[in-house]
């Protein structure tokens, strides 16, 4: 059977308190693999034609327009195209995101499936749960089949996600979900174990259905029965992984095979995989906060959170700038230096006095060479002093540290200049 194409239906909800960022909340993910290739190429093995099923359940890929015509989610990814141009990976959500991208697998195999027929891969987005609360989300569809070449390609796919997270999600809370086409019981499927161990991820099914211990490699497959699974003890290739961060405590609270919720009016199955629904709760650390991100999604990701000591305090702040904001550098009282950006512009340094903290910052941004970048920064201390670099524009935003907190670092994207900047606050 041709490999299905993953379509994500992500339903998020979170609690907020007026304009004040929430300290905790909940959200839900539904990850569903559908046989979205044209009917002439691939039947999903279930009753009903795909156009009809799409209107009921939301199949995607070659049925994208039909899906979106009946959908009411306020935030939805644009299709990457039908067969053979698109990947079929899409997200529908009640909460917005930034920095969306699509990445094609570097390795594919047609040994037993037609995985090279379409540009399969993964999507990335930074989901904005609340003000300054971001979770990196990866939606993937790995190589199918169990021939040797398929095993090699699938492991390479999962390794590609692992390497992407290592480069782009340092210090961030992370969700990875979709069709891995992997089972823990398959000895050749080492990629998911490496992903979990090397990126400090938790598999929700392993945590909640297997008491935290995955099935042994080479053991009998824990196949789900036809129809509606009676419980969650069986293993599907659709998986959900997660991790929190120093800022965000992230916990999985429930795992479901949601097959019974997605049936036709005749109570027949609509798709060839059991939909996976996971409920999460999150809360912020008591001593850390972040601002929103400002600027454009260009350059290299950075994050000062992992490098911060306990109870960090700033000794000095240096900004570099001329026409635009070139660099930001914090020197902490513990002698840790956190520097980002390039060497252009003129440096301006503000040395803080004992008991003084950075409590407010303004950023201005605009276009340069077709990309959005930060053009200026102005940071103010609790003593009313400030440091400024760069050139102001018409697009500016100011943030203030929560009461009792101060700016101690930054996160975002940089290169020769500061493309995207958010501020990290710590209790002072």
pLDDT for 82:
67
Among 266, 284, 302, residue at a domain's last position: 284
Q: Which residues contact 78 (CB under 8 A, 6 or more apart)?
A: none
> How do residues 133-175 score in pLDDT, each as one tens digit?
999 999 999 999 999 999 999 999 999 999 999 999 999 999 9
Position 286 pLDDT exceeds 70? yes
- To 10 degrees, what angle do helices 191-198 and 148-168 make? 20
* Domain at 158, CATH number: 3.60.10.10
Place of tokens 């004040």: 20
**Confidence tier at 117 by pLDDT (50, 70, 90):** confident
Q: Pairing relation of β-strands 24-34 and 276-284? A: antiparallel
Q: Is residue 211 part of a domain?
A: yes
Same domain, 174 and 276: yes
> What is the arithmetic mean of pLDDT over 290-304?
96
Rg from Cα positions in the chain: 23
**Confidence tier at 19 by pLDDT (50, 70, 90):** very low
Q: Is residue 263 part of a domain?
A: yes
Position 32 pLDDT exceeds 90? no
239 close to 255: Cβ distance less than 8 angstroms:
no
Among 252, 284, 316, residue at a domain's last position: 284
The domain tally of the chain equals 2
* Angstrom distances, CA of residue 122 to CA of 87, 99, 190, 201, 202: 8, 14, 19, 17, 19
Instruction: Give the tokens for residue 209.
Output: 């259905």
DSSP codes of every residue in 100-165: EEEEE-S----SSS-TTTTT-EEEEEEEEEETTEEEEEEEEE-----SHHHHHHHHHHHHHHHHHH
Among 284, 313, 344, residue at a domain's last position: 284
Position 13 pLDDT exceeds 70? no
Same domain, 280 and 293: no
What residue numbers bound the domain in which 45 lies?
24-284
**Confidence tier at 1 by pLDDT (50, 70, 90):** very low
Q: Is residue 413 part of a domain?
A: yes
Q: What proportions of the chain, in percent to the nearest 5, are helix, strand and coil?
A: 15, 40, 45
> How do residues 226-272 score in pLDDT, each as one tens digit?
889 999 999 999 999 999 999 999 999 999 999 888 777 777 777 77
Q: Which residues contact 65 (CB under 8 A, 6 or more apart)?
A: none
DSSP codes of every residue in 225-274: PSSS-SSS-S--SEEEEEE--SSEEEEEEEEEE-GGGSB-TTS-B-SSS-
| 14 vs 31: which has the higher pLDDT | 31
Q: Which residues contact 409 (CB under 8 A, 6 or more apart)?
A: 304, 305, 307, 308, 312, 330, 338, 423, 424, 426
Helix (H, G, I), strand (E, B) or coil at 17: strand
Q: Is residue 10 part of a domain?
A: no
Position 46 pLDDT exceeds 80? no
Do you know the residue count of the chain? 428
* Domain at 323, CATH number: 2.100.10.30
Same domain, 230 and 295: no
Q: Is residue 17 part of a domain?
A: no
Burial classification of residue 306, based on how many CB atoms lie within 10 Å of its CB (0-12 exposed, 13-18 middle, 19 or more buried): exposed
Q: Is residue 3 part of a domain?
A: no
pLDDT for 55:
45
Q: What angle do CA 396, 382, 419 make, to 5 degrees?
A: 30
Same domain, 260 and 305: no
What percentage of residues in the chain have a pLDDT greater than 90?
A: 73
154 close to 186: Cβ distance less than 8 angstroms:
no
Average pLDDT value over all residues in the chain: 88
Q: Pairing relation of β-strands 133-141 and 173-179? A: parallel
pLDDT for 264:
72
Same domain, 217 and 69: yes
| Rounded-to-integer distance, Cα 143 and Cα 212, Å | 26
CA-closest candidate to residue 372, choices 332, 406, 331, 417: 417
Position 4 pLDDT exceeds 60? no
**Confidence tier at 60 by pLDDT (50, 70, 90):** very low
Q: What angle do CA 291, 292, 297 make, to 5 degrees?
A: 135
Q: How far apart are the first and last CA of the chain?
A: 60
| 271 vs 93: which has the higher pLDDT | 93
**Confidence tier at 83 by pLDDT (50, 70, 90):** low
The three-state DSSP-derived secondary structure of 80-118 is CCCCCCCCCCCCEECCCEEEEEEEECCCCCCCCCCCCCC
| Rounded-to-integer distance, Cα 170 and Cα 305, Å | 9
Same domain, 232 and 326: no
CA-closest candidate to residue 41, choices 89, 82, 91: 82
Same domain, 189 and 297: no
Same domain, 299 and 277: no
Same domain, 77 and 195: yes
Same domain, 209 and 97: yes
**Confidence tier at 115 by pLDDT (50, 70, 90):** confident
241 close to 196: Cβ distance less than 8 angstroms:
yes
Kindly report the number of other CB atoms within 10 A of residue 286's CB atom: 9
Same domain, 184 and 306: no
Q: Is residue 329 part of a domain?
A: yes
Kind plus residue range of the DSSP H or E element containing 64: helix 64-69
> How do residues 365-402 score in pLDDT, each as one tens digit?
999 999 999 999 999 999 999 999 999 999 999 999 99
Position 11 pLDDT exceeds 60? no
Helix (H, G, I), strand (E, B) or coil at 358: strand
389 close to 319: Cβ distance less than 8 angstroms:
yes
Kind plus residue range of the DSSP H or E element containing 54: helix 50-57
Same domain, 224 and 362: no
pLDDT for 226:
86
Position 195 pLDDT exceeds 80? yes
Kindly report the number of other CB atoms within 10 A of residue 71's CB atom: 11
Position 59 pLDDT exceeds 80? no
Q: Is residue 138 part of a domain?
A: yes
């Amino acid at each position: 059977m041709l490999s299905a194409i993953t379509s994500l239906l992500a339903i998020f909800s979170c609690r907020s308190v007026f304009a004040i960022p929430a300290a905790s909340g909940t959200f839900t993910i539904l990850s569903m693999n559908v046989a979205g290739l044209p009917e002439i190429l691939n039947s999903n093995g279930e009753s009903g034609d795909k156009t009809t099923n799409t209107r009921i359940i939301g199949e995607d890929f070659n049925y994208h327009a039909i899906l979106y015509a009946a959908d009411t989610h306020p935030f939805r990814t644009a299709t990457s195209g039908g067969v053979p141009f698109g990947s079929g990976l899409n997200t529908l959500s009640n909460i917005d995101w930034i920095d969306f991208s699509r990445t094609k697998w570097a390795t594919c195999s047609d040994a037993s499936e037609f995985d090279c027929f379409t540009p399969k891969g993964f999507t990335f987005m930074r989901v904005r749960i609340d003000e300054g609360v971001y979770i990196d989300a990866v939606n993937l569809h790995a190589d199918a089949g169990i021939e040797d070449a398929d095993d090699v390609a699938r492991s390479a796919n999962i390794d590609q996600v692992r390497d992407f997270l290592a480069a782009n999600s340092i210090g961030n809370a992370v969700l990875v979900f979709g069709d891995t086409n992997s089972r823990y019981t398959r000895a050749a499927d080492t990629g998911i174990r490496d992903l979990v161990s090397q990126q400090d991820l938790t598999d929700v099914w392993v945590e909640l259905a297997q008491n935290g211990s995955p099935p042994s490699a080479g053991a009998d497959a824990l196949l789900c029965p036809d129809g509606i699974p009676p419980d969650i003890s069986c293993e599907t290739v659709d998986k959900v992984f997660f991790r929190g961060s120093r800022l965000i405590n992230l916990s999985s609270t429930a795992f479901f095979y949601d097959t019974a919720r997605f049936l036709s009016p005749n109570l027949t199955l609509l798709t060839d995989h059991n939909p996976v629904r996971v409920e999460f709760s999150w809360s912020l650390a008591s001593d850390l906060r972040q601002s929103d991100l400002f600027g454009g999604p260009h350059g290299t990701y950075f994050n000062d959170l992992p490098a911060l000591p306990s109870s960090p305090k700033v000794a000095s702040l240096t900004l570099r700038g001329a026409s635009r904001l070139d660099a930001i550098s914090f020197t902490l009282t513990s002698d840790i230096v956190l520097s980002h950006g390039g060497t252009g512009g003129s440096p301006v340094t503000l040395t803080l006095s004992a008991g003084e903290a950075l409590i407010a910052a303004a950023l201005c941004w605009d276009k340069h060479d077709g990309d959005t970048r930060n053009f200026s920064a102005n940071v103010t201390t609790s003593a009313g002093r400030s440091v400024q670099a760069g050139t102001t524009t018409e697009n500016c935003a100011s943030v203030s540290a929560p009461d009792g907190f101060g700016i101690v670092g930054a996160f975002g994207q940089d290169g020769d200049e500061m493309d995207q900047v958010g501020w990290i606050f710590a209790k002072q």
